[in-house]
Each structure stands twice: as C-alpha cells, then as structure tokens.
Amino acid sequence: MEPFDLVVIGAGAAGLAAATTAAEMGARVAVAEAGPLGGLSVNRGCVPKKTLVTSGRVHRLVRDAGTFGTVGGEVRLDWDAVVQRQHRVVDQLRPTAADLEKRGIRVVVGVARFTDPHIVEVDGRPLGAERFVIAAGSEPAILEIPGRERCITSDQLLFLPAFPTSLTFVGGGPVALELAGAFADFGSRVTVLARDAEVLPGVDPDVARHLRKRMEERGVTFRLQTAVRRLAPVAGGVRIEFDSAGMANELTSSQVCAAVGRRFHPRTIGAARIGLEMGRLGLRTSPYLCTSVPHIYAAGDAAGNRQLTPVAEHEGRIAAVNALRGDVERADEAVIPQVIFTTPEVATVGLAYGEAPAQGLHPAVARQDARGSHNGVATAEDAGYFKLVFDQDTQRLIGAQMVSPAAAELIQLCALAIRSRVPATVVAGQLAAHPSHGERLLKTFGPEPPVVSRVTQSAGVVESRP
Ligand SMILES: Cc1cc2nc3c(=O)[nH]c(=O)nc-3n(C[C@H](O)[C@H](O)[C@H](O)COP(=O)(O)OP(=O)(O)OC[C@H]3O[C@@H](n4cnc5c(N)ncnc54)[C@H](O)[C@@H]3O)c2cc1C
C-alpha cells in the first residue's frame, strides 16, 4: 500500500481545495471520490441551478418581450433543450481526473470508508495516510411522513425528464425559492409550503417579505405556517395533505419537491468505526477544523458550518494546511456573502441587527426601499430593498441584507466595506454611476439619505428622517 501524507475524502469544492492546497505544499496527496468530480456545486447545485434560473428568466423575458417593443411569434417551451443545456454546462465545468493528476493529486474512484484511523478502504482497496480531510459533503434531509417516496429532491428536479405543469415545494429556504422562481418563469403552477411565518429563515423578515411579494406577483403561491402530513398518489401526480394555520388542507401537484435542508451522514465514511463524533449538521470540529480524532480534519458541508461553496473552498484550504502543519489557521471567517438566486436576488453578509450586541457592538439600521428608482423603472425591474447594519460607535458597516436584481454583485461591495473597515461616510461620499442599481445602495450608507430609518437597540424604536 502506497503511503500518502494526506488522503482527502470527496472531490467537491472542499475536497478539491484541500487536495490542491496539499499538493502545492509538496505533500503526497490522494483524493477518493465516489461520484462525479466537482461534487454538489458543479453537478447538482450552484451550476445547474444558476443555468436553470437563467433559462427561466430568458423564457419569461421572451414571453414579455412585447412590453419592450419586440414582437415575436408564438413562444413555447422546449424543455428537452433546457435540460440538455444543463448537461452541457455541467460537463464543461466539471473538473477531470487528468486536471488533478497534472497537479500531482492521485485520484481514486470509489466509496471510501475508514477501516482503521489511518486507513480507508476505497471499494475494497486500502489507502493509508498520516492525515485525512473529510470533505464528503451532505445529503438532502428526508421528509418523515407517509408517502415520502412520492417526492423528489433538487437532485432530480434540476434534470427532470418531463416538464411539471404544477409543482409544489415543501420548504421555504433558498433552494426551494430559487427553483420555485425558475419553474414559475417557465410557466409551471408553483406552490411553496413553508413551515415558518415567513420564508427564508435566517434572513431579515423585511427582506424576505419583500422577495415573497415579488414572487407572488410572478405567479408563485405561498402557504406559510404549514405542516405537511402525508403524500398520496393520484392520477397525474401527488396529493399533498397539510395543515395550514391549524386547518387541514390539501392540494394536487404533478411533482412535489422536498427542500428541507441537508446534513452530513457519518455512515457514508464509516465514521462510527473510528470514533468520529457528530455535531448538529456535520462532524464535530474545533475552530481549526480538527475532528474528535486528532489527525483527521473536516471541511465544507461535512463540517456542518455554512453550506456554501465559498465556505467549502475556504475550509478545504484551511483543513489541509492545519492537517499538514499543525493547527495554524482558524476557520472563523465572519464576512461570508450569501446570495439567493431568485428574481430579484437576495443577498446577505456580516451581522444581522440582532447578532451585533453579542459581539459588544451597538447596531443602528439604515434601510431603503428602492422601488421607483430611475434604473428600476427604465429596466422594468423591481429595484429592491436595502437594509444595512452599522456600528454606532465606529460608524462602520457591520452587516447588509438586500433584495435587488443586482444583489449578487452589490453584496460584494458591502463585504469589502465590512472587511476594509472603511467609515460609512467614505462609501456614501462615492458618486454612483447613473442609472444603476448600486445608486440606492450607496445612498443607504448615509450620512443622511432621503428615506432612512434608524433603529436604536435600547429603545427599539424607529426614527425616520424625512
Ligand atoms: C440545489 C442547490 C443549489 C445550491 N446553490 C448554491 C449557490 O448558489 N451558492 C453556494 O455558495 N452554495 C450553493 N449550494 C450549496 C453548495 O453546493 C454546497 O455547500 C457545496 O457544494 C458543498 O461542497 P462540499 O465540498 O462540502 O461537498 P460536496 O460538493 O457535496 O462534495 C462531497 C463529495 O464527496 C463525495 N463523497 C461522499 N461520501 C464519499 C465517500 N464515502 N467516498 C468517496 N467520496 C464520497 C460525494 O460524491 C461528493 O462528490 C447549493 C446546494 C444545492 C443543493
């Protein structure tokens, strides 16, 4: 058996970052992968999702083209072409074993399971190493209700062979809303059954409400505070029985997609055999990403932190460095932009208002409804809503949440403002390009923008400046 300095389990965003980092550090490294290289993000997550969302937007735009003065013929959906494009994009972006081998990384195909703290077996072949990084990702949570086999997950929905004329999502989180918006754009009758009083748990409720209203205008039906009880087969689809505000209800849909979260499953790597301990969504790790077994590190969804590709890459790199050099770098990155690719987009970064006091900060909120902006009216888009959190003592931005057609790009400006610790007045003093979606964001930085409210923590009141 060839000994390696480091074996990485999983070749998704986290595993590829870990293996590449280790190879660049001169280590002998192997990566074991049971499925296609690139993992969730490239094959069943970010990439096909963004491709589908883009195809949906194009379909709606062409349907509505008359508004902009372009009159075409009959618009019809070629679903096969949409799915074929998904496959083409994924194939183009999926890394190859040859790419990795060129960088000095040995690729071992198969399911890796620990048989000993220093050995994994990959489909029966032993692979030994001094150190390991577990980057084995996550799996969709299963609905624990009768008839659950009637529903699919995002894995299947992204490449569905037949277009669903009606589609119901169980769950009101980012994945459900992104895909709900895309299928509504294609003309499917879409319903979202969300458990909580508002969609997007963890996102500011004003921001989440703003998005929900826009999605309702685009034809998505939302039922909030629901509990799905049972799924049953009916001709042409599935009957969904659910409670809504304490009342029994039901609806029928051609497809039902459960999007109720994801978690790492320890059995996928034989974790119990070597005493690896679990946390809430992933393996229990130290701030240095070390698991409960000292020579084994974890990264990405397997480590149970924020389930995002940039986090997985960041953690993969840190896990490799710490595994090979001792615990030298912590993984507590606080400035993580997150984008939800709905129309309009939602983006968040840094601290929410309620999280700031625990860090010894005195937050103040500035917010701005950008509807009616010159750019929004000219482009026929909802220009969105911005909510910024400042530290009153330093007058610096500490968090931002927004709905905007350009949120994925604008949030990066906010992330930079937080990281570089520039005073809000410096950002506010920057002249904005016109007409642009960023104009209203820059205005939200103050010092006294036209429509700004500040919420003081002690009083909990809203002070509006006309
Ligand atoms: C529909 C959807 C859309 C998303 N969109 C976004 C987005 O827009 N932006 C964003 O930042 N994040 C998004 N995410 C989240 C993001 O995709 C994940 O957080 C990220 O891909 C996790 O990377 P990872 O490397 O930890 O895991 P993965 O990419 O899942 O990689 C784990 C790999 O390990 C392999 N593996 C598992 N067990 C074994 C084993 N025993 N032996 C060998 N190999 C094994 C798996 O086959 C897999 O390839 C989305 C997720 C979903 C589901």
Around ligand 1, the residues with Cβ closer than 6 Å are 9-15, 32-35, 39-41, 45-46, 49, 111-112, 135-137, 154, 175, 268-269, 300-302, 307-310, 312, 341
From 16, 37, 40, mutation site for ligand 1 pocket: most ligand atoms within 8 A of C-beta: 40
40 CA distance to ligand 1 centroid (A)?
3
Q: Is the link from the previous residue into 126 a cis peptide, with omega within 30 of 0?
A: no
Which among 53, 85, 55 is positioned nearest to 182, based on CA atoms? Answer: 53
Residue 414 CA to residue 401 CA, distance in Å, equals 9
384 CA distance to ligand 1 centroid (A)?
30
434 is catalytic: yes
Residue 452, pLDDT score: 36
Residue 315 CA to residue 98 CA, distance in Å, equals 24
Outline where DSSP puts E strands in 361-408: 363-369, 385-391, 396-404
Token look-up 């799924």 returns 231
Q: Where are the alpha helices (DSSP H) in 131-173?
A: 154-157
Which ligand 1 atom is nearest residue 315's CA?
26
Residue 460, pLDDT score: 32
Q: How many CB atoms lie within 10 A of CB 173?
A: 22
Q: State the 10-residue block means of pLDDT for the chain, 466 residues long.
A: 89 98 98 98 98 98 95 94 97 97 97 96 94 97 94 96 97 98 98 97 95 97 97 96 92 97 93 93 97 97 96 98 96 89 97 92 93 90 93 94 97 96 92 93 72 38 32
Contact 390, 397 (CB under 8 A): yes
Q: Is the link from the previous residue into 450 a cis peptide, with omega within 30 of 0?
A: no
306 CA distance to ligand 1 centroid (A)?
12
